[in-house]
């Protein structure tokens, strides 16, 4: 259980909400985690249970079926899911796709999608990455050619979280290929639209229970009214929403790192070598002390970033720095925590193995950490 005694980003209402989230995860997630990992996807029943528990899109306004809460509640959910050792795609829906629709969507789009996303009857994804394009979104090749009152979309996407489960996909496409970044738009595509197809549920190193997919668009026709916000403003919208996406990754990384530390601490106090607990060796104590120090700094920074974001003050450079630092820290700590498990750490039956596997991608998605450094350097 996460220690909240020194936290300053949350109030009593957040604490009550956290308690309900923990109970829900204990009831609906933990008993099924191994099955979700084996099947490579989270059941739709889990999504419905999240909706019933108020764990989906908590910041959506009551006018569209939500609770109208601040981002701190999203952070609570992110922390508890990550601390549980799960890679379910709920944070993507809560922190990323919902924000695009709520911020840039028309009233009709909000009424159509947000209440269902809050209930869990509509699962969402955002399709940015392509086989030849990752962090450089201006290099996408997917096109949405306007013909009369419709777009005709052609192209492919890959590494799309929630891709197998998604009922609606926010597609990043070029509506005017000649205009570079100013020719990129965001277009809503329902999964039952003719010409839309899902490819493989990709075989990943980690995050096995997060369905991650290839998506294909072959002359997919959607109304021009499906454009999210204004045509040609998609790249700007993506840049505007990046702080929350990257903060979300940082929050999850911090909580997962804490769980890795907690697992290692419990293991070394229980396991003996040369007639004494592994904990009693100086190397073990120093390794744990170093991790504890990093986590202490990390939690203080996370709370600072959450409070700044809730006030609307967190900058893109600050969020990028948070994503880079916390994901790097997560990878360092999970690696040391696994080492302290010895041979047991290499066995999938131990949670530390999953935490170590799942950590690796956090330095890649949401923009690689090398790109994060580039973003921060531009603010100097």
| Helical ranges in the chain per DSSP H | 12-28, 33-39, 44-52, 71-83, 90-92, 98-104, 107-119, 234-270, 282-310, 316-340, 351-359, 369-378
Beta-carbon-side half-sphere exposure of residue 315 (alpha carbons within 13 Å): 9
Contact between 209 and 237 under an 8 Å Cβ cutoff? The reply is no
Are 360 and 305 contacting, i.e. CB atoms less than 8 angstroms apart? no
- Residue 378's CB is within 10 A of a number of other CB atoms, namely 10
* Location of structure tokens 């991790």: 291
245 tagged catalytic: yes
**Choice among 28, 231, 245, 318 that is catalytic:** 245
Residues 6 or more apart from 263 whose CB is under 8 A from it? Answer: 337, 341, 350, 351, 352, 355
Burial readout 299-331 (b: 16 or more C-beta within 10 A, e: otherwise):
bebbbebbbbbbeeebebbbbbbbbbbbbbbbb
CA nearest neighbour of 263 among 359, 360, 364, 365: 359
**Beta bridge partner(s), residue 156:** 216
Q: Are 265 and 339 in contact (CB under 8 A)?
A: no
- In terms of Cα–Cα distance, which of 23, 367, 365, 373 is closest to 206? 365
Alpha carbons 138 and 176: distance in angstroms, whole number:
12
Tokens of 121: 């009857």
Give me the active site residues, please: 245
């Amino acid at each position: 259980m996460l220690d909240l005694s020194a936290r300053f980003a949350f109030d009593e209402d957040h604490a009550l909400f956290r308690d309900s989230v923990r109970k829900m995860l204990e009831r609906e997630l933990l008993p099924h985690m191994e099955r979700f990992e084996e099947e490579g996807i989270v059941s739709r029943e889990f999504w419905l249970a999240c909706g019933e528990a108020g764990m989906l899109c908590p910041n959506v306004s009551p006018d569209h079926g939500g609770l109208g809460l601040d981002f701190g509640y999203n952070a609570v959910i992110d922390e508890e899911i990550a601390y549980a050792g799960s890679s379910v795609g709920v944070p993507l829906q809560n922190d990323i796709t919902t924000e695009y629709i709520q911020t840039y969507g028309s009233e009709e789009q909000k009424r159509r999608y947000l209440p269902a996303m809050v209930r869990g009857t509509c699962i969402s994804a955002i399709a940015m990455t392509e086989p030849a394009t990752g962090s450089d979104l201006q290099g996408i090749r997917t096109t949405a050619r306007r013909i009369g009152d419709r777009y005709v979309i052609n192209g492919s996407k890959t590494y799309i979280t929630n891709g197998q489960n998604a009922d609606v996909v926010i597609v990043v496409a070029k509506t005017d290929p000649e205009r570079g970044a100013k020719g990129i738009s965001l277009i809503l595509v329902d999964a039952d639209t003719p010409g839309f197809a899902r490819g493989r549920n990709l075989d990943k190193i980690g995050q096995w229970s997060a369905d991650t997919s290839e998506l294909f668009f072959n002359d997919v026709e959607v109304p021009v009214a499906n454009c999210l916000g204004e045509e040609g403003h998609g790249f700007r919208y993506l840049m505007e929403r990046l702080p929350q996406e990257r903060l979300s990754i940082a929050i999850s990384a911090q909580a997962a790192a804490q769980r890795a530390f907690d697992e290692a601490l419990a293991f070394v106090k229980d396991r003996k070598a040369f007639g004494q607990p592994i904990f009693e060796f100086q190397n073990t104590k120093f390794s744990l002390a170093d991790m504890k120090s990093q986590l202490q700094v990390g939690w203080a920074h996370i709370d600072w970033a959450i409070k700044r974001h809730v006030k609307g003050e967190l900058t893109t450079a600050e969020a990028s720095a948070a994503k880079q630092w916390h994901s790097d820290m997560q990878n360092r700590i999970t690696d040391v925590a696994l080492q302290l498990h010895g041979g047991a750490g290499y066995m999938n039956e131990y949670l530390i193995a999953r935490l170590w596997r799942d950590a690796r991608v956090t330095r890649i998605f949401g923009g690689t950490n090398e790109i994060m450094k580039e973003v921060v350097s531009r603010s100097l």
